[in-house]
Structure 1
């Protein structure tokens, strides 16, 4: 920056003021290493409370792009421990139990579907995760480079519903465990609130501190699960008799598994955005893929075993009817007495390793949702997200299993189309070049794409997706004959619509520009 000088060689009053303001800005930025240079810094950076939080390691940066100079996190194994801890809790049990208890499948058939479709459908979101260290963009900010400024609100809202739904399920399960530990002296509503508030405290800390917590959080979780299986495992061999599985049932349950895995595409990039551009992509992919799949497959299979046992084990059936999964886990540990209650408490708190990262991504999504929201610190959005979580979780606790089936099934459809659009944009139009994601235009609606091709491509396939749905509340004519194929249609059809529309936009409306 040029500075005007007076004729006698001294700085003019105006230039002195400019220099003082520049020095103050530099000092503030240095004191707040986790805050992006932007309006949120200018508004809140002068308050001592924010400086103190930053000095304690709390992440104050929001959705603003992370410059290359700040992408220095080389603890790549954290990707695996973060996701492993996030999945190593009671949430996957709820998906597995649906296969045997609700769909009437055998444990063997459930395991085969869980194993194959989990490892397969987790590949796209884990691959997309490897892009974020190269661009420095949060996952749903990166989506603006295909969906544009305003149309991006559509997948953003859907992603927020997905994240909130999974978080709600985890909070309900954790709350039910707390109720079981208290011998029903604590209400489910209070249990949900306790889980949500603890998650909020951890989420406020942000990226660095959450990584430290999740690096070790999986240890007590896996020990507790092993103890639970060891104490109550003798009942797991008492499997209910089932009819031979049909292809339609297999396809529908596979869609449920896809609905569990594919929505990670909207959040995984948030957890690696501070890693350097030259981070080993294969290692990050493998850490993410194995970190998600190994605990998920293991616990979904355990859930399927529990589901096949509940109907023929009266004590478990009563506990399940009273407190769902939380009640069953408490019943499994009942022979261990007081120690069993302690282990149940650990299992209840294990869901925090899932709810905290989810609220983290949800708070970031809020910042992108509407113009100007990114100026409000992420911490404020965390508090708002927690309030929503408590309210929605309490309202959904009464019809938990039905809500789970409907929710996990429906979200797979939009997320499959979203994945197809993002991969075509990255692989075909941008030729895997991170430089084409210009950080300087992330919030400029005039320079970003219009988003119309992406929005049309996301919506139009639902003309065939809807008849292919097989849900509790609706079974389409195609699904009635084949099983739920909505996920497959959304994933396959969307790219073929997006490619020609995006080409037309670039040629006729953007002068060849991306």
Structure 2
């Protein structure tokens, strides 16, 4: 008996079915599609290169993995150099004191971790990549829009990673390695595991040794910084008061939220091969702590380093950014310090690997013509794009980071809300739709039209526009909520506007279209 096209994942779990024949492997499908390259592709796949792209992973092709790998993966990709500068921004751009910076990091990182952890639970339940899941709320067209946004998001993260990694490599022996060469080196290091695929990504990012070794390196930075002298009141005379202070906290909070919730659009990509009966609460908890603990800790280390007031440290930051500051912090250890700087520079590869891998999947999610081209080819395209962009923007790291993360938080906020409301209101057992028709993931005629998701997304954009506070634009609500430069309420209003309108639009869409 073949699976019913309307059978939800809850039904399949209770009454599993046995298909008439096994689904053709992704390897065979791609080899047949590109028969003229068959021998080359066969050798690639035989050597371990992953063939599967955005295709759904059927229940009989799932793998049982150690659940703790979920925590280790997120721990590994966030206990890295890339996370440090986010904490630095609290003092660099918003003149917050260390206590206010730490409090903001804790609150907004927790919010972002909750959102991302929820998205992660959908991977085992559906067997789908994150962007494909959006087809069940926003239709084929809506999925295409989200995929474009996610491609830009992952490219932005990648640009930040390669610039910072290159910056740090160049600071090991100033004057010997051009910054652009450092950017290229880090980019190539990120490409290799993504080209091969998910198995090597799991093996490299779930290494407990790697995750803990970088955590210890962060402790070294904290200890050496403390030896140089943290001054908890270093920013006190510069910190704003009253309404201006709340503006700074909200604006910095949006950046912190974006640094954590930025993983939400890819969170299900790394769980879709887990068994469908994997307890969602376990996925949620392990993802939450795998994100929250390392991100808050590393960002706080970055914030603490900004309180060192010795001239050689402040000069290092002003002249070479975070990379040069780290070089100064590690300078008392001489050769040992340079070795640690080398480890930190290459740690960004672990952070950049999920960006590259998921960006390639998002290109495939744009539609069937893109999905027909093998995933590994798109990783090459992504690599070229972010390496070129990183080389071009290498002198403007802090500006790229602050503006990118703030804007990132806007669209991820309404994306998360729309997917969550579809899941808990309309797809819940006993809801209007009663589950996901998982066999329809690539059949536009059986998916929602997406009118509700697209309209709610437009309202989310409107909320972001009226609430945002950037250097180049401050929305009318952002102006009133803050002082001189406004307060960034972009992601909060984006989530609120989409959250209020989506259930209404979706109810109407189901009522009049039946899907």
Is contact 1:251–1:485 with CA below 8 Å preserved after alignment? yes
So what's the TM-score if we normalise by structure 1?
0.89
Is contact 2:96–2:235 with CA below 8 Å preserved after alignment? no
Counterpart for residue 16 of structure 2 = none
Counterpart for residue 472 of structure 1 = 471
Is contact 1:135–1:435 with CA below 8 Å preserved after alignment? no
Is contact 2:411–2:460 with CA below 8 Å preserved after alignment? no
Mapped to 2, the partners of 1:304 and 1:367 lie a distance apart of 38
User: CA, structure 1 residues 100+222, in 2 after alignment: closer, same or farther (shift >3 Å)?
Assistant: same
Counterpart for residue 265 of structure 2 = 266
Mapped to 2, the partners of 1:228 and 1:202 lie a distance apart of 28
Is contact 1:405–1:472 with CA below 8 Å preserved after alignment? no
Mapped to 2, the partners of 1:333 and 1:120 lie a distance apart of 33
Counterpart for residue 289 of structure 2 = 290
CA displacement at 1:86 relative to structure 2: 0.5
The 5 Å alignment of 1:41-440 reads 41-44=31-34, 47-216=38-207, 217-239=210-232, 240-242=234-236, 243=239, 245=241, 246-309=245-308, 312-431=309-428, 436-440=435-439
Is contact 1:220–1:346 with CA below 8 Å preserved after alignment? no
- Compare CA radii of gyration and give the structure with the larger one: 1
Counterpart for residue 442 of structure 1 = 441
Is contact 1:418–1:458 with CA below 8 Å preserved after alignment? yes
CA displacement at 1:41 relative to structure 2: 4.6
After superposition, what is the alpha-carbon deviation per residue over 1:185-205, rounded to whole angstroms, capped at 9, x for unaligned? 111111111111111001112
After superposition, what is the alpha-carbon deviation per residue over 1:433-454, rounded to whole angstroms, capped at 9, x for unaligned? 9983333322222222111211
Is contact 2:428–2:434 with CA below 8 Å preserved after alignment? no
User: CA, structure 1 residues 252+438, in 2 after alignment: closer, same or farther (shift >3 Å)?
Assistant: same
CA displacement at 1:55 relative to structure 2: 3.5
Contiguous gaps of at least 5 residues in structure 1: 2-24
Mapped to 2, the partners of 1:241 and 1:269 lie a distance apart of 40
CA displacement at 1:431 relative to structure 2: 0.7
Is contact 2:426–2:434 with CA below 8 Å preserved after alignment? no
Mapped to 2, the partners of 1:307 and 1:478 lie a distance apart of 31
CA displacement at 1:335 relative to structure 2: 1.3
After superposition, what is the alpha-carbon deviation per residue over 1:250-300, rounded to whole angstroms, capped at 9, x for unaligned? 222212212222222210000111100011211111111000110100011
Mapped to 2, the partners of 1:382 and 1:293 lie a distance apart of 28
Q: Does 1:507 align with 2:511?
A: yes
So what's the TM-score if we normalise by structure 2?
0.88
Paired residue secondary structure (1:454): helix
CA displacement at 1:224 relative to structure 2: 2.4
User: CA, structure 1 residues 131+36, in 2 after alignment: closer, same or farther (shift >3 Å)?
Assistant: farther
Paired residue secondary structure (1:122): helix
